[in-house]
Amino acid sequence: MREPTSIEDCVSSRRLVHNTRYHQFKQTEIDQIQVALLDWFDKEQRTNMPWRKPARSDLDKEALGQRAYEVWVSEIMLQQTQVATVIEYYNRWMDRFPTIYDLAAADIEEVNTLWAGLGYYSRAARLKAGAKKVVEEFDGLLPNNAKDLEKHIPGVGPYTAGAIASIVFGQQTALVDGNVIRVLARLRAIGADMKKANVVALFWQLATTLVPVERSGDFNQALMELGARVCTPQNPNCDGCPVQSQCLSRAHLNLHGKFLADGGFWDQKGMSTDSSQLEHGVDILECEFCPAMTNELDHDDYAVTRYPVKVDKKPPRDEECAVCILEKLQEGDEESLYLISRRPDKGLLAGLWEFPSLELGDNRTTYAQRSKRTTTFLKEQYNLDLTTTATVKAEVKRQDLDNVVHLFSHIRKVYHIEWVRIPAAAGIEMASTGQKKWITMDELKKAPIPTGLKKAIKLLEKARIGSTKASSTSAKRKQPPSSNTKDIASFFQKKRS
389: CATH: 3.90.79.10
Q: Answer yes or no: do 86 and 137 share one domain.
A: yes
Q: Is 310 part of any domain?
A: no
Interhelix angle 178-187/216-229, rounded to 10 degrees, is: 80
Q: Is 494 part of any domain?
A: no
Cis status, amide bond into 423, omega within 30 of 0: no
Of 57-61, 289-293, 355-359, 408-412, give the range with the top mean pLDDT: 355-359
Q: Answer yes or no: do 265 and 349 share one domain.
A: no
Dihedral angle at the C-alpha atoms of 123, 164, 74, 57, nearest 10 degrees?
160
Identify the H or E element spanning 167: helix 158-167
Q: Give Cβ neighbours of residue 33 (< 8 Å, ≥ 6 apart).
A: 25, 187, 210, 243, 246
**pLDDT by residue (tens digit) across 138-153?**
999 999 999 999 999 9
Q: Answer yes or no: do 272 and 331 share one domain.
A: no
Q: Is 371 part of any domain?
A: yes
Q: Answer yes or no: do 271 and 337 share one domain.
A: no
The fraction of the chain above a pLDDT of 70, given in percent, is 86
Range of the domain at 338: 317-473
Longest dimension (CA), the chain: 124
Write the burial class of residue 323 (CB in 10 Å: 0-12 exposed, 13-18 middle, 19+ buried): buried
**pLDDT by residue (tens digit) across 272-305?**
444 444 443 334 468 999 998 888 888 888 899 9
* Average pLDDT of the residues in 123-149: 96
pLDDT band at 434, cuts 50/70/90? confident
Q: How far apart are CA 238 and CA 141, in angstroms?
A: 42
- Candidate from 128-132, 214-218, 409-413 with smallest mean pLDDT: 409-413
**Nearest Cα residue to 53 out of 65, 71, 38:** 71
Instruction: Give the dihedral sign, CA 285/291/295/301.
Output: negative
Q: Compute CA distances 373 → 292, 328, 423, 493, whole Å.
A: 55, 20, 22, 61
> What total number of domains does the chain contain?
2
DSSP per-residue codes, 106-137: S-HHHHHHHHTTS--THHHHHHHHHHHHHHHH
- The residue type at 477: R
CATH number, position 142:
1.10.340.30
Q: Answer yes or no: do 271 and 321 share one domain.
A: no
* Average pLDDT of the residues in 346-365: 86
Instruction: Give the dihedral sign, CA 316/321/325/326.
Output: negative
* Confidence (pTM): 0.81
Q: Are 123 and 72 in contact (CB under 8 A)?
A: no
Q: Is 1 part of any domain?
A: no
**pLDDT by residue (tens digit) across 472-486?**
555 455 555 555 545
Q: Answer yes or no: do 232 and 341 share one domain.
A: no
Phi, psi of 406 (to 5 degrees): -130, 135
Q: Answer yes or no: do 215 and 75 share one domain.
A: yes
pLDDT band at 315, cuts 50/70/90? confident
Domain boundary among 259, 281, 303: 281
* Average pLDDT of the residues in 400-420: 92
Q: Answer yes or no: do 259 and 205 share one domain.
A: yes
* Average pLDDT of the residues in 306-327: 91
In a 3-state reduction of DSSP, which class is residue 31?
helix
Q: What is the mean pLDDT of the chain?
A: 87
Q: Is 427 part of any domain?
A: yes
* Phi-psi domain of 275 (left: phi exceeds 0; alpha: psi -120 through 50; beta: other): alpha
DSSP β-ladder status, 357-361 and 317-328: antiparallel
Catalytic residue among 70, 75, 150, 327: 75
**pLDDT by residue (tens digit) across 218-260?**
999 999 999 999 999 999 999 999 999 999 999 999 988 887 7
Q: Compute CA distances 440 → 26, 88, 255, 447, 449, whole Å.
A: 64, 26, 66, 10, 14
Q: Answer yes or no: do 40 and 156 share one domain.
A: yes
Q: Answer yes or no: do 126 and 212 share one domain.
A: yes
**Nearest Cα residue to 360 out of 370, 346, 349:** 370
Domain boundary among 281, 308, 335: 281
Q: Is 484 part of any domain?
A: no
Q: How far apart are CA 434 and CA 141, in angstroms?
A: 33
Q: Are 241 and 247 in contact (CB under 8 A)?
A: yes
First to last CA, the chain: 124
User: Taking 70 as the threshold, does the pLDDT of residue 467 lie above it?
Assistant: no
SS3 content of the chain, % helix, strand, coil (to 5): 50, 10, 40
- The residue type at 342: R
User: Taking 50 as the threshold, does the pLDDT of residue 36 lie above it?
Assistant: yes
User: Taking 60 as the threshold, does the pLDDT of residue 89 lie above it?
Assistant: yes
Q: How far apart are CA 337 and CA 300, in angstroms?
A: 60
**Quick check: is 359 catalytic?**
no
- The residue type at 263: G
More confident residue, 123 or 394: 123
Q: Answer yes or no: do 193 and 327 share one domain.
A: no
Q: Answer yes or no: do 257 and 129 share one domain.
A: yes
Q: Is 175 part of any domain?
A: yes
pLDDT band at 4, cuts 50/70/90? confident
Q: Is 290 part of any domain?
A: no
Q: How far apart are CA 81 and CA 83, in angstroms?
A: 7
- Candidate from 8-22, 383-397, 409-423 with smallest mean pLDDT: 383-397
pLDDT band at 266, cuts 50/70/90? very low
Phi, psi of 390 (to 5 degrees): -65, -35
pLDDT band at 336, cuts 50/70/90? very high
